[in-house]
Amino acid sequence: MAETLLDIRNLHIEATVYPAGEPAKDIVIVDDVSLILEKGKVLGLIGESGAGKSTIGLSSMAYGRGSIRLSGEVFLNGREILSSGSRGLRKLRGKEVTYVSQSAAASFNPAKRLMEQIVEAALEHGVASKAEAEKRAVQLFRELSLPNPETIGNRYPHQVSGGQLQRAMTVMALVPEPDLIVFDEPTTALDVTTQIDVLAAIKKAIQKTGVAALYITHDLAVVAQVSDEIMVLRNGAKVERNTAENIINSPQEDYTKALVSVRSIDHKEKKPSKNPVLVARGISAAYGNKVQVLKNISVEVHPGQTLAVVGESGSGKSTLARVLTGLLPPFEGTVTFAGRTLSRALPQRTKEDLRQIQMIYQMADTAMNPRQTVETIIGRPLGFYFGLQGKKRRERVLELLDEIEMGEGFLDRYPAELSGGQKQRVCIARALAAKPKLIICDEVTSALDPLVADGILKLLLRLQRSEDVAYLFITHDLATVKAIADSIAVMYQGSLVRYGSKSDVLAPPFDDYTDLLLSSVPEMRIGWLEEVLQNRKMESAGN
């Protein structure tokens, strides 16, 4: 039996919340969770948002965000730490346990050079001299394949890319030579092609240094690559814990099974029609007449079908949506809708043109007026385009609510009173209310938990069949693409690198970029990461 490093017993975490207009109340965030982590092992904590995984991770440093109250016992290296007082905790944080956060870009102090921040903990705790710590950092930069390892430490956070910062933060966690590192969604904010490098770097770092880790994520396929064991959490309680292999290959609990089989939507590709609803020809666009972000893009969307536009951040996918809707007039190319050429700029388009193309956004939160009720939000296009008022409008709103599988009870709710998935459903209903022929969906499932995202995709497919609406579906997530697309456009640095029916685009032979993109999507099997890194033809842009 290996030596125990972290022993959490009956952890119970509560917080006081202050809902608007109601008395303050206590909510339970984590309920009676126990876990043991041995030295040098990696335990994956997985669950949806609100499952309490980050809170449990931080409890291993006896740290609680906001007004959180921890009770139970947490033993680290045999000492109980919840009761050890702020002086004792200071000696342990940054020395025995370190932390890698989701957003390294926000977690580095913008006013200080990277190196100063990376060696700070080691100096504070007297683990190493400044020269030793810096030498160790440079060595780690090199091992995690950061460019210019000798000099990158002299840079400020805004001078390096997101993927590099995430690796620099891993270096920061490793420099004090801790016994345990808490990785809190370290790759969630990154593009798939960057994620794979960071993931590989983290795995290498763990293997080389023999440090133990808690790896927190909502993506089972990612955690399966780095963990020895996985613990599945839901609503602050443990669902099941097993070796990574057993969780992936033979999950016991229904919830785990659902997580493993997520994104298994079966969608048969439809043949393109003769009369596409939308044709974009030779679109080139630029912001401020300087930076060209779209280069000669030509795509078609067919009635009742889905064109998926894929690419990483900065590839120009969202800019394409802005051009099609008229928000950004292109300097070259035309947009034809149902056989008619549309005006390039929004102000010149007729109300009818506007009605025909609707949009759904990634952040449902910011796409709705927080001071309007669901009825007002969905009713607005009904009044604006069709002049529906009063009772008729309410009836139509109810019909739409029914279509998005939400009931009458939601009419008077405000956006803040809805869950993430419900908010996105309301946005879908608002788009449908205009009875458009085309809906542009811009990363509509990216901010949602996998199971919720699944529900939204199924809803969109069902609505497509019943309303005969076409989608232009912008995403960076290839699993989503496989699930819903009829045709696919792959974009890279503003150009179209591959375009055609789903079966053509996803069949070899691939161009280098599509190959990189496809191979970077984490697959739910052990050993996937090593395989991909061996077979790659092209370096990802994050380097």
- Which residues would be at the binding site for other proteins (CB under 8 A)? 61, 63, 65, 89-95, 98-99, 101, 103, 106-112, 117, 120-121, 124-125, 155-156, 158-159
Q: Which residues of 267-283 are buried (b: 16+ CB within 10 A; e: fewer)?
A: bebbebeeebbbbbeeb
Whichever of 65 and 351 has its CB closer to other proteins, that residue is 65
From the CB of 541, what's the least distance to other proteins, in Å? 16
Q: Tell me the CA distances in angstroms from 187 to 69, 219, 230, 346, 522, one per residue in order.
A: 28, 10, 17, 37, 12
Write down the least CB distance from residue 94 to other proteins, Å: 4
Three-state DSSP state, 488:
strand
Q: Which two tokens stand for residue 181?
A: 């590192």
Comparison of 99 and 492: residue with beta carbon closer to other proteins: 99
Nearer to other proteins, 80 or 399 (CB): 80
Distance in angstroms (rounded) separating the CA atoms of residues 396 and 398: 5
Q: Specify the residue, 101 or 519, whose C-beta has the smaller distance to other proteins.
A: 101
**8 Å CB contact between 250 and 524:** no
CA distance 38 to 179: 10
Beta bridge partners of 207: none
Sequence-separated (6 or more) residues with CB below 8 Å from residue 383: 389, 393
- Give the nearer residue to other proteins in terms of CB position, either 92 or 457: 92
Distance in Å, CB of 114 to other proteins, minimum: 12
- C-beta closer to other proteins: residue 106 or 258: 106
Helices (H) and strands (E) in the chain, counts: 21, 20
Q: Report the alpha-carbon distance of residue 168 to residue 158 in Å, rounded.
A: 13
The C-alpha atoms of residue 317 and residue 540 are separated, in whole angstroms, by 18
State the nearest-atom distance from the C-beta of 156 to other proteins, in Å. Answer: 5
Query: Closest separation between CB of residue 170 and other proteins, Å?
Result: 13
Question: Which residue has tokens 């009458």?
Answer: 408
DSSP per position, 210-246: --EEEEEES-HHHHHHH-SEEEEEETTEEEEEEEHHH
Bridge partners, 212 (sequence order) = 180
Least gap, CB of 112 to other proteins (angstroms): 7
Task: State the Cα–Cα distance between residues 73 and 94, nearest whole angstrom.
Answer: 20
Residue 101 or 487: the one with the smaller Cβ distance to other proteins is: 101
DSSP sequence for 265-276: ---PPPPP-SS-
Q: Quick count: other Cβ atoms within 10 Å of Cβ 40? A: 18
Residue with Cβ nearer other proteins (31 or 116): 116
CB of 202 to other proteins, least distance (A): 17
- Cβ-based nearer residue to other proteins, 126 or 347: 126
- Least distance in Å: CB of 90 to other proteins? 4
CB of 15 to other proteins, least distance (A): 16
- Identify which of residues 52 and 176 has a Cβ nearer to other proteins in the complex: 176
The helix (run of H) or strand (run of E) holding residue 324 is helix 317-325
What value, to the nearest 5°, has the Cα angle with vertex 85 and ends 84 and 91? Answer: 80
Task: Choose between 189 and 406: whose C-beta lies nearer to other proteins.
Answer: 189
Closest CB 124 distance from other proteins, rounded Å: 6
Backbone angles phi, psi at 32, to 5 degrees: 55, 60
Rounded least distance, CB 43 to other proteins, Å: 19
Q: Least separation, in Å, of the C-beta of 450 and other proteins?
A: 25
Q: Retrieve residue 507's tokens.
A: 């069949």
What H or E segment, with its residue span, contains residue 380?
A: helix 374-386
Q: Give the nearer residue to other proteins in terms of CB position, either 92 or 230.
A: 92
What is the closest distance, in whole angstroms, from the C-beta atom of residue 97 to other proteins in the complex? 8
DSSP code string of 403-454: HTT--GGGTT--GGGS-HHHHHHHHHHHHHHT--SEEEEESTTTTS-HHHHH
For other proteins, the closer of residues 157 and 379 by Cβ is 157
